[in-house]
Each structure stands twice: as C-alpha cells, then as structure tokens.
Amino acid sequence: MAERPYFSICIPQYSRVQHLIFALGELQRSSFRSFEVCISDDVSPEPDYRVLESWLSQSGLRYRLSRRAVSGKYDKNLRSALALASGDYLILMGNDDCVAGPDSLAHLQSQIEAHDRPELVIANYVGFSDGHLVSRVRAERVFPGGVDSAKALYRSFAFVSGLVWKRTLFETYDSDRWDGTEMYQMGLGCAAILDGARTLTLVSALVRKDILIAGQTVDSYQDRPPLDGGWLEPLETTLSTLPRVVAGAFDASRLGPREKHLGWLASVKGLYLFTYPFWIHDYKAVFGFKTAFRLFHTLRPKAIARKNRQPRPASTVTGLTYFAVGAAILLVPNRIFEALRPWAYRLAKAGS
C-alpha cells in the first residue's frame, strides 16, 4: 500500500507472542483494510521475537516492527510503537487485547468521519472471556476541549486499548515527562484536551480485553502481593504516580500557572473521590486490611504533593475528602462495598 493508512495500530510488545499473534489474526479478518500495525518489542527473549518476526513476514498485514536496544518498560516502549506510525489516527492496543470484531475498524472510521474528525476517541471494551461490556464512557458525544472535559475524561484513559488519537497530537505532545508512570496515554491525552482537542466517546466496544490462550496465564497485580512492612511503611504503586501524570498534563498544556495549579488540585480531589477508594477496597479484599491501610497512608495529600513536587498539597476540603472517603472504605465491610459498587461506578462516570 503506497498511500498513507487511515489507522496505525500501535502495540508495545514484550514476551506474550501467542497472545499478540492471536490479536493480529483478528486484524487479518478486518473488513476495513486501510491500516498498518506498529509493534515495538521491549527486548523480548530472542526466540519469542523470532517467532513474531516470522509470523508477521507471512501474515499479509502491513506492519512495522522495531526492537528496542535497551528495555524501556511500558511508557518508553509505547512511545516507540507510536513513533513508528504513519497513519492519520493512532489506535493504542495492548499485546493481550484484540479488536472486538471484523467490522470494528470500519465502524470506528465511520464514526470519526460522522463527527467531523475529532482529535481523540475513547471507546468502551468487552471482556474476552465473558463478553461483559465495560462502560468507561456512558454516552456517544463529542466533548469540547478545556479543563472541564479533561476533568470529566482523564480517568477513562487508564486502560490503554481502544484509545485513539490523531498522529499530530503525538507529534505535538510526546514527552518523556510521563516515563515511569505507566500512564503515558493519560498524560498526553489530557494535555491535548486542555489545549482544546475534541474527544469523541463511543459506547460501542472497539476491543476485547485479556485474550485467553490455553495453558498460558497473564500476569496480574493480584498474583504479586506487596512485600510485608510496617503499618506506616510506604506502599509504592502506580497509583501514587497519577498526580504526577495529571500535573505533567497541565505543565505540557498552554494554560497559565494559576490555571495549571488549580486544575491539578481539582484532579487530585477527583482521585480521592473515585479512583483511590476503589483500589483501597481492592487491596483490602485481595491482600488484607494492613496492606490496604499502608496504601491509604501512602496516598495522603502531603505525601502526594511531596512526591510530585507540588508547592501545596491540597485544600482543606480535599484533605478531608481523602480522610473521610478512605477511612470509610477501610471500615466498611467488603460485601457492602460490593453491593454499592454499581451505583458508585455510575456516579463516577456521570461526568463523562
């Protein structure tokens, strides 16, 4: 294909060759053909890389495959995959996720054109094994750019597969400021929205999450319990980097200093209201009360501000929100939280 593809499907890859080959096989069946696959390999074992290289050479897919000389972990590897792209729109995809069906790309392209080619798209996804629809967005609409839209949408960037943005956004906002956070896509997406980029949200599923291959398992944080420690010993997770991701998005935008700081404070309040409670509950359910308390203590406003080099931790209201919501999650029995979870999820997504 000599012409520029409409989509570049960008996949950071490490080791899960059979999962990725399954996902690529689904792309072979796509009814929409103007796409390329851009894969950056993060120094997988040599045999795995050779299997992937051989399969691609016979696949009939238009592809670009690159192998990093040195491991860059998730963020750098994702940036390497995006840098390979030549398409008008970049579709971000994990290496153990796949498109929802043969007409998924055709539907996405038609929606982009029908909504006057927005700069970003956030689509829902379904579980690979159970087909359950996960509604990270709850309505089909176009959000205008600006702080309000970024506050409503930034949590929807946590899962990478099914996020779509114009290649020009990557060329404008790509930066190493988010390396090591495992949330590069959230930082770049929010920076673009803050500067006026329009975002189309699609309730239909673009991808299926967590491919299952017989005899193979996929790593989960639940299989890696944190090291034991004292009650007040910090529990380092990617959660503590989220304020850094948000702060980096504001720094990368063209907003003034006061707007940047106020926006960061408002976003941290949103994390305390919606994101952190879920994870504190999950850590309590999976690892026990002590580990959940360590996570709660690690996420206190002063510690978050110090870790993210912010001059002021938060307002008094934000501090009270942190304490009240976190303490409630720690003390409420798990069965009550689970009963309230659907209502809480709808509340969290009400803005989007």
Range of the domain at 320: 222-348
Q: Are residues 156 and 54 in the same domain?
A: yes
Question: What pLDDT does 312 receive?
Answer: 62
Question: What pLDDT does 314 receive?
Answer: 62
Asked whether the predicted pLDDT for residue 65 surpasses 80, the reply is: yes
**Residue 57 covered by a domain:** yes
Q: Are residues 33 and 181 in the same domain?
A: yes
Asked whether the predicted pLDDT for residue 197 surpasses 90, the reply is: yes
Which of 154, 181, 209 finishes a domain?
A: 209
Q: Are residues 155 and 273 in the same domain?
A: no
Which of 155, 177, 209 finishes a domain?
A: 209
Portion of the chain with pLDDT greater than 90, in percent: 66
Q: Are residues 342 and 321 in the same domain?
A: yes
Residue with tokens 């989220």: 242
**Residue 2 covered by a domain:** no
Could you give the number of structural domains in the chain? 2
pLDDT in tens, 69-122: 999 899 999 999 999 999 999 999 999 999 999 999 999 999 999 999 999 999
Which of 143, 176, 209 finishes a domain?
A: 209
Q: Are residues 185 and 244 in the same domain?
A: no
For residue 57, the domain's CATH number is: 3.90.550.10
**Residue 216 covered by a domain:** no
Q: Are residues 326 and 189 in the same domain?
A: no
Q: Are residues 322 and 173 in the same domain?
A: no
Q: Are residues 197 and 297 in the same domain?
A: no
**Residue 27 covered by a domain:** yes
Question: What pLDDT does 307 receive?
Answer: 72
Instruction: Report the distance separating Cα 278 and Cα 334, nearest Å.
Output: 11
Contact 39, 64 (CB under 8 A): yes
Q: Are residues 283 and 195 in the same domain?
A: no
**Residue 214 covered by a domain:** no
Strands 133-134, 63-67: pairing is unpaired
Q: Are residues 203 and 290 in the same domain?
A: no
**Residue 21 covered by a domain:** yes
Q: Are residues 205 and 226 in the same domain?
A: no
Q: Are residues 203 and 256 in the same domain?
A: no
Question: What pLDDT does 112 receive?
Answer: 98
Helices (H) and strands (E) in the chain, counts: 14, 10
Nearest to 351 by CA among 248, 234, 269: 269
**Residue 242 covered by a domain:** yes
Question: What pLDDT does 330 receive?
Answer: 94
What distance, in Å, lies between the first and last C-alpha atoms of the chain?
Answer: 38
**Residue 11 covered by a domain:** yes
Between 167-176, 287-296, 297-306, 330-339, the lowest mean confidence (pLDDT) is in 297-306
Q: Is 182 left (phi over 0), alpha (psi -120 to 50) or beta?
A: left
